Amino acid sequence: MRCPFCGNIDTQVKDSRPAEDHVSIRRRRFCPACGGRFTTYERVQLRDLVVIKTNGKREDFDRDKLERSIRISMQKRPIDPERIDQMISGIVRRLESMGETDIGSKQIGEIVMEALNRIDTVAYVRFASVYKNFQAADDFDKFVAELRPPETSADE
Express each pLDDT in 111-142 by its tens digit: 999 999 999 999 999 998 888 888 888 888 88
Categorize the per-residue pLDDT at 153 as very low, low, confident or very high, splitting at 50, 70 and 90: low
pLDDT greater at residue 150 or residue 31: 31
Question: Is 75 in contact with 41 (CB distance < 8 Å)?
Answer: no
Question: Is 97 in contact with 121 (CB distance < 8 Å)?
Answer: no
Q: What is the pTM of this model?
A: 0.69
User: Which pLDDT score, from 0 to 100, does residue 152 have?
Assistant: 63
Burial class, 107, CB count within 10 angstroms (exposed 0-12 / middle 13-18 / buried 19+): middle
- The domain ranges of the chain are 10-44, 46-147
For the cut 60, the answer to whether the pLDDT of residue 17 exceeds it is: yes
Residue 31 DSSP class: -
Question: Is 71 in contact with 88 (CB distance < 8 Å)?
Answer: no
Distance (Å, rounded) from C-alpha 6 to C-alpha 13?
16
Identify the CA nearest to 108 among candidates 91, 84, 89.
91
Distance (Å, rounded) from C-alpha 101 to C-alpha 61?
10
User: Which pLDDT score, from 0 to 100, does residue 71 have?
Assistant: 94
Categorize the per-residue pLDDT at 147 as very low, low, confident or very high, splitting at 50, 70 and 90: confident
